Structure 1
Amino acid sequence: MEFLELLFGKIGDLTWGWSLIPILVIFGVFITIATGFVQFQFFKRMFRVLSNDNNSGDPNAISARAALLVSVGGRVGGGNIAGVAVAITLGGPGAVFWMWAIALVGMATSLVECSLAQLFKRKVGESEYRGGPAAAILHGLGNEYRWLAVVYAVCLIAAFGLGFNAFQGNTVAGAVQDSLGIDRLWTGLVLAAISGLIIFGGIQRIAKVADVVVPIMAIGYLLMAVIVILINITSLPGVLYDIVSNAFGLQEAVGGGMGAAIAQGLRRGLFSNEAGLGSAPNVAATAEVRHPISQGITQSFSVFIDTIIICSCTAFVILLGDVYVPGAEGIDGVALTQQSMVSHLGEWVQYFLTGAILLFSFSSIIYNYYLGENAMTVLTRSSMGILGLRVAIIAIVFLGATAPAATAVFFFSDPMMGILALVNLLVIMMLFPVAMRLLRDFRRQLKEGVERPVLDPANYTDLDIDREAWRLPQV
C-alpha cells in the first residue's frame, strides 16, 4: 500500500504539481486566440438554450438544455462552496480574479472538447447517444489509438466513478451530521437508495432528475447570495478593489502574495469548472442537436455558470463578511462559507446551506456515475459490466458516507484525473483542425443567414462519423 501511495503521489506531482495547470492555461489561451475569441463571439447565443428545450421534438431524446443541466449539476459541487473558500484562505482575495480568468479561457477549451465529442458520438437505440473523448480517440484518431482510449476510460472510472463519489458521500453525511445531528448511517442509506433508483434508470432518468434538482439548487443558492450582496451593497466596490489589487500584487493578503493568488485561483478554478479535464464532453455527447458547435456553445455556458456566477457568489459571501481574516489561521473550506453565510443572515441559514450541499453533492454523484458508465462501454460491451459498476458505485457512496476514514483508500483519484486531463488535451491538440473545420462551417451558415446551423454529413465523408446520429433534420 505504501508503494502505491508513493507511486500515485509521484504521478500527482508530475501532473497537478508542475505540468498540467500551465498546459491547461497555455492551451486555453491558444484555443481562445486561434478560434477568434469564440466564447465572446457566441456569448449571447449561449442563453438561447435556456428557452429552447428540445431541438428535435423527440420526447425521449436528451435536449441541449437537459445536457447542460446534467453538466452543471456535475460541475457545481464542493468546489463552489468549499473550494472557493480554500482558494481565498490560501491565496487571498486575488485568487478570485484568477478563477475568473481561467474560466473565461476555459470556456473556449470546453467549447472545442465538447464539439468534438458531439461530432464523433454514436447512436444507441432509438433516441440515445454516447460519446466523449474515448469515442473521439477511436473514431477521430483511429483504432491504432485504442490503447489511449482504454487509458482514458480506466482513469475516468477510477477518478470520477469511484473516488469522487466516495468523497461526495462523505461530504453530504458530514454536513448533515454537523448541522442536523443525523447519524451518518441513515444519511448513507438514504443517499445510496436514491442514487440507485436514479442510476438504474439510465441517462434519460438522470437528465430528468437534473432538470428538476439543478435549477432548484442553483437558483436557491444564488438567491441567498444575492440577498447577502444587496445587504452589503455599499461594501461591494471595496471588495472588488481588494480582489483586483491583490491579484496583481498591489496589496498582499497572504504569504506568497501574487504568486499564491495565481496558483490557488487557477488550480481551484480548474477543479471547479473542469474545462479541459475530459469529463464534461461525455455528457455533452448525449444531446440531440443540429450542429456539434451548438452543444459546444452550451457547454461553454456551463463553465460560465459554474465559475463566473456561482463561485463568484460564494466569494462575495465570504469577502463581504467579517469571518474571513486575511492571512490569519482559522476556519477554512465549507465551514468558512457556512459561518460567513450565518454571520450575514443568522443561524437558520446553516440548515439551508446543508440542503444546498446535499443537492450539489447528489447531482455530482449521478453525474460521476454516468461518466463511469460511459467509460465502461469502452472497456466492455457486457451488460454485466454496467450492472457491476452500478452496484459498486452505490456501495462506494454508502461507504464514503458511513466510514469517512475509508475515503483515504481513494488517494489515486486526483492523480488519475491528472492523467485523464493530459490524455484529453493530447486528443484536443490532435483533432483541433477538425474542430476549426466545424467552427468555420458554423460561422459560414450564420453568415448566410441560417438561424440554426445544421451539420451536413455529406461534407464530412472523410471522417468516421455516425450517419444515423447526424441525419439531416426534416424541415
Structure 2
Amino acid sequence: MPRTPSRGDRGLAILSRMDAVNEWLLTWGDNFWTWVVLPVVVLLGLYFTIRSGVVQFRLIPEMFRTLTDKTPRKESGGPQSVSAFQAFTISAASRVGVGNIAGVGTAIAIGGPGAVFWMWLMAFVGGASAFIESSLAQLFKVRDEEGFHGGPAYYMQKGLGARWMGIVFAIILIICFPIAFSSLQANTIQATISGSFGADSAVWLPWLIGGTLSVLMALVIFGGVRRIASVTQTLVPMMALLYLLLGLVIVALNIERLPEVFAAIFTQAFGVNEVLGASLGYIILTGVKRGMFSNEAGLGSAPNAGATAAVTHPVKQGLVQTLGVYFDTFLVCSITAFIVLVSVPDLANAERGISLTQGAIVGSLGEWSNVLLSIIIFLLAFSSILGNYYYGEANIEFITPRRTAVLVYRIFAVIAVFLGAIVSADLVWNFADGAMGFMALVNLIAIALLSGIAIRLLKDYTLQRREGRDPVFTRDRLPDVRGITVWEDELTVTGPIDLITKRRQAQKHRDHLHETDAAARRQNE
C-alpha cells in the first residue's frame, strides 16, 4: 500500500520546485541580459553620450545650478507643482535603498571588487540615458489640478503615438516595481532583522515579519494610517545620511586598506577573479545589472518623478535626474563597496546581499550596529515599498480609470510583500532581474526613437545659455512635434498659472460677446 506523503515530504517537494524555478530564472535571466539587454543598455548609452556631446560630463556645473532653480509659482503664491529639488529628492528616496546596500553586496559576492568599476562606468554612461528619458518626460508631461505628472507611458503615447506601447510599459512597471522590487525590499528587511536576532529565530520570524509588513502596507495604501507614510518620508533622508556616516566611520577605521581596495576594484575589473571564479563577462554583467537596479538610469522609473517638477525648460530636469544617478552610485553605492571591501578581505564563500554588508558593518563596529542597521534598512526599504506602490498605481490609472482595477492591484501588491519576506533571497533577486530587464528594454527602445527630440531640446537650452538667458521653453520652439500639451507660452511656463487661467477665461468671454454682437448685426442687416 503506497505511503501517504507527510507534511515534511510535501514541504521538501515545494522546496525542490522552488529551487528548480530559481535555477530556471537564473539561467534564463543571465542569457536574456547577456544577449539582449546588456548590448542595448551599453550601445544606446554610448550613442546618447556621443550624440549629446557627453552631456553627462559637459554640463555638470549646470546640474548643480538647476538643482536650486526657482519654481514657477501660482498667483496665490504657491508653486505650480513640486520644485526641481523636490523631484530630485523624490527620485533619490526611491533610488536609495536595498539596491545601494544589499545590491552592492550581491555584486561584490558574485563578481568581486571588479564589479564596482563596471557599476561606476555604467553610471557615467547611463547618465546620458537618464538625461534623455527625464527630458522627454518633462516635455510630454500633463497638467491636472494638483500639478504635473507623466513618465515613459506618457511619452510613448504622446511622443510616439503608441498608446499600446505605453500600456505594455505600464504593465511591466507594475510587475517590476510593486511586485518584484517590493518583494525584494521585504526580503531584505526580513534578512536583516533575522540576522540581528540570530539563526534560531529564522524559522518563524520571516512569517511574522512578512505579515507585519503586509499589514503596515495595507494600512497605508487603503487609507487607514497615512501618518506612517509621512513619518517614513521624514525619516528616510536622516537614515540615508546616518548610513553614509556609518560608512565613513568604517572606512576611517580601516583607512590603511583603502589603496588596496582601489587597486582591487580596477585590476579585477579587466580579468578573472581567481577567488570567486568570476570571468570578465560575468563581472561586467553583474556590475551593469546591480548598477541599473541601484541608480535606475534608463530603467524608466525616475521619469515618473521627474515629470512632476515645475521647471522653465525640460532639459533642466534632465540634468537634475542625471545628478541623481551620480549621487546614488558614486556616493551611496561606493560607501557600501568600501564598507565591504575594507572589512572583508577574503570574499571566498561570502554570502550574497544584505548578509555580506551586515557582516562587514558588525565586524567593524560591533553587535550594537546590527540593531541600528536593521532600523535603517527597515525605514529605507519600507519607504521604497510605498514609493513602488504609488509608481504602480499611477500606471494603473494610465491604463484604466476603473477603481476595481486599483483594488485588485492593491491586493496583489500586499501579497507580493508577504511572499517576498518568506521566499529565498536568490529567487527574489533573479525574478527582479528578469522583470527589470524587460522594463529597461521597452523604455530604452522608446527613448531611442524619441532621442532626436531630446537632442533638439538640449541644443535649444545651450543656445539660450550662450545668449546669457535663463532658458525658457515653449512648444512653438518645436512646432513640428505633436503631443505636447503644456508649455503653451512663456507666461504659462514662468508666470502665475491662476492669473493665466483668468486671462484666458476673460478673453474667451470677450470673444463670445464679439461673436454674439456680430451675429446680431447680421440678423439686423
TM-score range, shorter chain: 0.7 to 0.9
What does 1:42-53 align with in structure 2 at a 5 Å threshold?
A: 42-48=59-65, 51=68
Aligned to 1:38: 55
Aligned to 2:242: 220
Return the letter of the residue paired with 2:108: I
| 148-157 vs 257-266, greater mean Cα deviation | 257-266
Q: Is it true that 1:117 corresponds to 2:141 in the alignment?
A: no
Aligned to 1:455: 473
CA distance in structure 1 between the aligned counterparts of 2:429 and 2:337, rounded to whole angstroms:
29
Q: In the TM superposition, what is the alpha-carbon distance from 1:248 to its structure 2 partner?
A: 2.9
Q: In the TM superposition, what is the alpha-carbon distance from 1:340 to its structure 2 partner?
A: 0.9
Task: Check conservation: 1:73, 1:210, Cα contact below 8 A.
Answer: no
Aligned to 1:271: 293
CA distance in structure 2 between the aligned counterparts of 1:252 and 1:8, rounded to whole angstroms:
26
Task: Check conservation: 1:82, 1:333, Cα contact below 8 A.
Answer: yes
Aligned to 1:147: 164
Aligned to 1:441: 460
Aligned to 1:420: 439
What SS class does the counterpart of residue 351 from structure 1 fall into?
helix
Deviations 1:355-401 (A, max 9, x none): 22112211221221122112212320223323432343234324433
Task: Check conservation: 1:338, 1:353, Cα contact below 8 A.
Answer: yes
- Higher radius of gyration, 1 or 2: 2
CA distance in structure 1 between the aligned counterparts of 2:275 and 2:143, rounded to whole angstroms:
53
What does 1:326-475 align with in structure 2 at a 5 Å threshold?
A: 326=347, 328-401=348-421, 403-404=422-423, 413-451=432-470, 453-462=471-480, 463-467=482-486, 471-474=492-495
CA distance in structure 1 between the aligned counterparts of 2:451 and 2:170, rounded to whole angstroms:
21
Deviations 1:68-108 (A, max 9, x none): 22212222222211221222222221211111101111111
1:75 is matched with which residue: 81, 87, 95?
95
CA distance in structure 1 between the aligned counterparts of 2:213 and 2:382, rounded to whole angstroms:
8
Q: Is it true that 1:95 corresponds to 2:95 in the alignment?
A: no
Q: In the TM superposition, what is the alpha-carbon distance from 1:148 to its structure 2 partner?
A: 1.6
Give 5+ residue unaligned stretches, structure 2: 1-16, 497-525
Task: Check conservation: 1:196, 1:394, Cα contact below 8 A.
Answer: yes
CA distance in structure 2 between the aligned counterparts of 1:410 and 1:240, rounded to whole angstroms:
27
Return the letter of the residue paired with 1:19: V
Aligned to 1:241: 263
In structure 2, relative to structure 1, the CA distance for the partners of 1:48 and 1:352 (3 Å cut) is farther
Deviations 1:265-302 (A, max 9, x none): 22221222121122221221122222111111111111
In structure 2, relative to structure 1, the CA distance for the partners of 1:227 and 1:5 (3 Å cut) is closer
Deviations 1:6-36 (A, max 9, x none): 9977863553242101210111111111111
Aligned to 2:516: none
Deviations 1:19-72 (A, max 9, x none): 101210111111111111111122123334665585536357222222222212
Aligned to 2:514: none
Q: In the TM superposition, what is the alpha-carbon distance from 1:225 to its structure 2 partner?
A: 0.6
Task: Check conservation: 2:80, 2:310, Cα contact below 8 A.
Answer: no
Aligned to 2:520: none
2:317 is matched with which residue: 295, 299, 306?
295
Scaled by the length of structure 2, what TM-score is found? 0.80
Aligned to 1:313: 335
Q: In the TM superposition, what is the alpha-carbon distance from 1:132 to its structure 2 partner?
A: 1.1
CA distance in structure 1 between the aligned counterparts of 2:82 and 2:425, rounded to whole angstroms:
36
Aligned to 2:128: 108
Task: Check conservation: 2:180, 2:435, Cα contact below 8 A.
Answer: no
Deviations 1:328-379 (A, max 9, x none): 2243321111111112111111112112211221122122112211221232
CA distance in structure 2 between the aligned counterparts of 1:310 and 1:409, rounded to whole angstroms:
23
What SS class does the counterpart of residue 277 from structure 1 fall into?
coil
Return the letter of the residue paired with 1:113: E
In structure 2, relative to structure 1, the CA distance for the partners of 1:172 and 1:256 (3 Å cut) is closer
2:184 is matched with which residue: 156, 162, 167?
167
In structure 2, relative to structure 1, the CA distance for the partners of 1:51 and 1:206 (3 Å cut) is farther
Aligned to 2:521: none
| 108-117 vs 331-340, greater mean Cα deviation | 331-340
CA distance in structure 2 between the aligned counterparts of 1:48 and 1:119, rounded to whole angstroms:
20
Scaled by the length of structure 1, what TM-score is found? 0.88
Aligned to 1:325: 346
Give 5+ residue unaligned stretches, structure 1: none
| 350-359 vs 39-48, greater mean Cα deviation | 39-48
What SS class does the counterpart of residue 113 from structure 1 fall into?
helix
What SS class does the counterpart of residue 74 from structure 1 fall into?
helix
2:39 is matched with which residue: 12, 22, 42?
22
Aligned length: 467
Over the matched positions of the two proteins, sequence identity in percent amounts to 42
Task: Check conservation: 1:80, 1:314, Cα contact below 8 A.
Answer: yes
Task: Check conservation: 1:199, 1:205, Cα contact below 8 A.
Answer: no
Return the letter of the residue paired with 1:32: T
In structure 2, relative to structure 1, the CA distance for the partners of 1:266 and 1:193 (3 Å cut) is same
What SS class does the counterpart of residue 143 from structure 2 fall into?
strand
CA distance in structure 1 between the aligned counterparts of 2:173 and 2:228, rounded to whole angstroms:
19
CA distance in structure 2 between the aligned counterparts of 1:254 and 1:14, rounded to whole angstroms:
20
1:137 is matched with which residue: 146, 156, 173?
156
Return the letter of the residue paired with 1:473: T
CA distance in structure 2 between the aligned counterparts of 1:260 and 1:230, rounded to whole angstroms:
31
In structure 2, relative to structure 1, the CA distance for the partners of 1:383 and 1:434 (3 Å cut) is same
